[in-house]
């Protein structure tokens, strides 16, 4: 059997994924607030035949971030709807929170995107790490990790019932008898769960993909459980080839145990890339970004991504032991910080934070296109990945380099498509269209 084609997803982030990106790119610093910035990235990824572009969501930002990084956290579905108009094939994946959205309204927003894009929508299911979201949404408290994941599974079931509320062939358009849609082909959802309640059909027919593609990035035990049950594309943030193989093997075993075909659960680890004509050039570019990185940002960000408010901590004191010594389910990001605190007893937070990587990925590749292509093939052959979520350290620059110099190598090796053969994100991923239940 030949090796399946790789899948690529382009992570869109202001000026690039590296925290220093905005300081090295020559563009107007406010350019990231306009549609042309997003359109150029999406069109470049589409020129490279990527499966999808991806927009993250952070529902509330800690104010320290405004000092260090461009802040452009628009509503992802609004941005992707605009991108639907300037692209034709590429998938459009946006993040939505199961802790702060309501299943019916989220189902409606993503199904709208699926209609407007002709079947290219995907939903990255997140439970939202930052507790600051609670205040923004008028909630008294941010739910704990275990509670958030318990609600998440039920949320997906509820949203699915909404997407399935019209049969695919419900619109009959019978002008003669005056029947636009056949009422008998509606399946009114009546969902009454432990956490979510809804009744009522979607206010428009079933979308081209039936259901948007379900994406998940949870790395903890409950996160992986959710992904194994529902995800049709999985993001991961492995530290090494070995940990990537381990994650994908365990996830696929869990998916099989849940009665699913693991071949329909592609895993796309997050990979930050910096490319150069020579290895030395790429390493120099990566070093310049690293040299500009701010130690102040580092400790604050380590707390924020662990779900803690940096304003409540002293960077010159150790991380309070009650945080990391107790039992209980915490996010994998928090676990990374707590592990570093345990391994460096008494060390000030500033120093502990140096052992923690801040973003979605933990891997920064710097080298030539040939070296990157070789690494990608090695990871696929080892069972570590079905493709990658490519995070250009600077954007659109590193994405453009990837499309122009890495994609052709993978195509010559017969490991990546040379044209789109379908029009929907499900088609790109080789996923079937789900029947309305
Ligand atoms: C590529 C990638 C993208 C992610 N995007 C988001 C996002 O947009 N919003 C968010 O709240 N979390 C995001 N996350 C975090 C995950 O949803 C998840 O919380 C994290 O990986 C920790 O896993 P856990 O929740 O199971 O501990 C992302 C993670 C990865 C690897």
Strand extents, DSSP E, 127-189: 171-174, 179-181
> What local confidence, expressed as pLDDT, does residue 355 receive?
83
**Atom number, ligand 1, closest to the C-alpha of residue 76:** 8
SS (H, E, C) 379-429: HHHHCCCCEEEEEECCCCHHHHHHHHHHHHHHHHCCCCCCCCCCCCHHHHH
**3-57 per-position pLDDT tens digit:** 899 999 999 999 999 999 999 999 999 999 999 999 999 999 999 999 999 999 9
Q: Which residues pair with 365 in a beta bridge?
A: 273
Rounded to whole angstroms, the Cα distance separating 282 from 273 reads 9
Question: From CA 402, how far away is CA 242, in angstroms rounded?
Answer: 24
124 Cα: distance to centroid of ligand 1 (angstroms)? 9
pLDDT level of residue 331 (50, 70, 90 thresholds) = confident
Asked if residues 61 and 101 have their Cβ atoms less than 8 Å apart, the reply is no
- For residue 323, count other CB atoms closer than 10 A to its CB: 16
Task: Tell me the mean pLDDT in the region 83-103.
Answer: 98
| Index of the ligand 1 atom closest to the CA of residue 97 | 11
Q: Is the peptide bond before 396 cis (omega within 30 degrees of 0)?
A: yes
For ligand 1, atom 21: residue with the closest CA: 218
Per CATH, the architecture of 7-278+360-429 is what? Alpha-Beta Barrel (3.20)
Q: Is 128 in the pocket of ligand 1 (CB under 6 A)?
A: yes
For residues 41-63, b (16+ Cβ closer than 10 Å) or e, as one string?
Answer: bbbbbbebbbbbbbbbbbbbbbe
State whether the beta carbon of 218 lies less than 6 angstroms from ligand 1: yes
The reply to whether 149 sits in an annotated binding site is yes
160 lines ligand 1 (CB under 6 A): no
DSSP 184: G
CA-nearest residue for atom 18, ligand 1, is 218
Tell me the CA distances in angstroms from 151 to 24, 218, 222, 339, one per residue in order: 42, 14, 11, 27
The span from the CA of 317 to the CA of 304, in Å, is 17
Atom 6 in ligand 1: residue holding the nearest Cα: 56
State the virtual CA torsion across 141, 144, 147, 148 in degrees, nearest 10: 80
Report the nearest atom of ligand 1 relative to the CA of 216.
Answer: 17
**Closest ligand 1 atom number to CA of residue 145:** 25
Closest-CA residue, ligand 1 atom 3, reads 360
For residue 148, which atom of ligand 1 is closest to its CA?
Answer: 25
Amino acid 359: pLDDT = 65
Backbone angles phi, psi at 122, to 5 degrees: -140, 145
User: Which residues does 339 contact at the CB level (< 8 Å), separation at least 6?
Assistant: none
Contact 165, 201 (CB under 8 A): yes
pLDDT band per the 50, 70, 90 thresholds, residue 308: confident
pLDDT confidence of residue 329: 65
* Per-residue pLDDT tens over the stretch 376-390: 999 999 999 999 999
Q: Report whether 246 contacts 276 (CB < 8 A).
A: no
Instruction: Tell how far the Cα of 293 is from the centroid of ligand 1, in angstroms.
Output: 22
Distance (Å, rounded) from C-alpha 188 to C-alpha 206? 13
Is the C-beta atom of 148 inside 6 A of ligand 1?
Answer: no
Report helix, strand or coil for 209: coil
Asked whether residue 389 is marked as a ligand-binding residue, the answer is no
Show the CA angle centred on residue 383, arms to residues 221 and 259, nearest 5°.
55
Is residue 328 over pLDDT 60? yes
CA of 218 from ligand 1 middle (Å) equals: 6
Q: How many residues does the chain have?
A: 437
pLDDT tens digits for range 247-269: 999 999 999 999 999 999 999 99
334 touches ligand 1 (CB under 6 Å): no
pLDDT: is 335 or 164 the higher one?
Answer: 164
Three-class SS state of 55: strand
Supply the pLDDT for residue 327. Answer: 66
β-partners of residue 234 are 216, 267
**Cα first-last separation, the chain:** 33
Residue 1 in this model has a pLDDT that exceeds 60: no
Structural contact between residues 268 and 387, judged by C-beta atoms closer than 8 angstroms: yes
252 among the known binding-site residues?
no
| Cβ proximity of 84 and 113 under 8 Å | yes
Is the pLDDT assigned to residue 358 strictly greater than 80? no
Q: Is 184 annotated as a binding residue?
A: no
Task: Establish whether residue 95 lines the binding site of ligand 1, counting it when its CB lies within 6 angstroms of any ligand atom.
Answer: yes
What ligand 1 atom has the least distance to the C-alpha of 333? 22
117 is in an annotated binding site: no
Cβ(278)–Cβ(312) below 8 Å: no
Portion of the chain with pLDDT greater than 70, in percent? 98
Burial class of residue 26 (count of CB atoms within 10 Å of its CB; 0-12, 13-18, 19+)? exposed
- pLDDT over 80 (residue 362): no
């Amino acid at each position: 059997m030949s090796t399946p084609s790789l899948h690529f997803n382009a992570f869109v982030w202001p000026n690039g994924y590296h925290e220093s990106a905005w300081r090295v790119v020559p563009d107007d610093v406010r350019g990231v607030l306009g549609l042309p910035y997003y359109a150029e990235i999406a069109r470049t990824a589409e020129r490279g035949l990527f499966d999808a572009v991806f927009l993250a969501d952070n529902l509330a930002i800690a104010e320290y971030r405004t000092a260090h990084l461009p802040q452009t956290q628009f509503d992802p579905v609004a941005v992707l709807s605009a991108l639907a108009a300037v692209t034709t094939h590429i998938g459009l994946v946006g993040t939505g929170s199961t802790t702060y959205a309501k299943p019916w309204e989220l189902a409606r927003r993503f199904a709208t995107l699926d209609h407007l894009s002709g079947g290219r929508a995907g939903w990255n299911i997140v439970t939202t790490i930052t507790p600051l979201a609670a205040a923004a949404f008028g909630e008294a408290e941010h739910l704990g990790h275990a509670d958030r994941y318990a609600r998440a599974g039920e949320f997906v079931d509820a949203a699915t019932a909404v997407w399935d509320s019209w049969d695919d062939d419900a619109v009959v358009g019978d002008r003669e008898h005056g029947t636009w849609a056949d009422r008998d082909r509606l399946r009114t959802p009546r969902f009454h769960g432990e956490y979510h309640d809804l009744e009522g059909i979607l206010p428009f027919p079933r979308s081209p993909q039936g259901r948007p593609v379900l994406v998940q990035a949870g790395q903890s035990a409950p996160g992986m459980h959710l992904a194994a049950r529902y995800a049709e594309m999985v993001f991961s943030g492995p530290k090494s080839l070995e940990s990537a193989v381990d994650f994908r093997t365990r996830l696929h075993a869990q998916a099989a145990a849940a009665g699913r075909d693991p071949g329909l659960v592609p895993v796309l680890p997050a990979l930050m890339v910096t490319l150069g004509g020579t290895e030395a050039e790429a390493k120099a570019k990566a070093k310049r970004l690293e040299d500009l990185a701010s130690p102040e940002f580092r400790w604050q960000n380590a707390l924020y991504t662990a779900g803690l408010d940096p304003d409540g901590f002293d960077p010159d004191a150790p991380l309070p032991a009650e945080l990391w010594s107790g039992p209980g389910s915490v996010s994998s990001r928090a676990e990374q910080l707590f592990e570093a605190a345990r391994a460096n007893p008494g060390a000030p937070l500033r120093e502990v934070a140096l052992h923690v990587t801040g973003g979605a990925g933990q891997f920064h590749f710097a080298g030539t296109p040939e070296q990157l292509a070789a690494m990608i093939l090695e990871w696929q052959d080892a069972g570590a990945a079905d493709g990658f979520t490519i995070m250009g350290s600077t954007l659109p620059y590193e994405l453009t380099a990837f499309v122009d110099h890495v994609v052709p190598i993978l195509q010559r090796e017969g490991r990546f498509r040379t044209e789109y053969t379908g029009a929907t994100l499900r088609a790109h991923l080789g996923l079937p269209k789900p029947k309305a239940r």
